Amino acid sequence: MKKLRVRSLSVREAYDVLRSASVVGDAADAIIDRCLRHGYLDDVRLAEQLVYTATDRKGQGRNAIMRTLRQRGIDSAVAEAALSDVVDDDRERALEFARHKARAFRDVDRDTALRRLVGQLTRRGYTGGVAMAAARAALDEAAPTGVRFTE
């Protein structure tokens, strides 16, 4: 119960916590069943929360979200159902993230900036093609026009 006060757990994570406390077999099953009945454990709700956080706050792509759901022990059918509600706008989210990060690469040559930005995007779970397109577009938008006016 202490672990559940800190963050939501999947059923698999709850079993892992019980196993680490040397609670196994029928005793662990009884505790998990009671937590499920009372709504303390709910993989569907947890998957929806993780997808919301990953898309709205972290700007992650579908691959990274699916990886997180798998790591947390969410069943693949539950994970797919949670991801089905997400609009498939990886390109737009990647471009938004790339635009924000491109400002930091103003003092770096374009090839280096492109490589770093694509790396950041792929680590966030965007495919190589989406990452490359977003990085190029963001760097093109952030490129100085070359005209400077001084007083």
Q: Is a pLDDT exceeding 90 seen at residue 151?
A: no
Angle between helices 110-123 and 90-102 (to 10 degrees): 130
Amino acid identity for residue 11 in this structure:
V
Is there a contact between 142 and 106 (Cβ–Cβ < 8 Å)?
A: yes
Q: Are 141 and 133 in contact (CB under 8 A)?
A: no
The pLDDT of residue 3: 77
Query: Residue 118 CB: number of other CB atoms within 10 A?
Result: 20
**Residues 121-148 pLDDT 10s:** 998 888 888 899 999 999 988 876 655 5
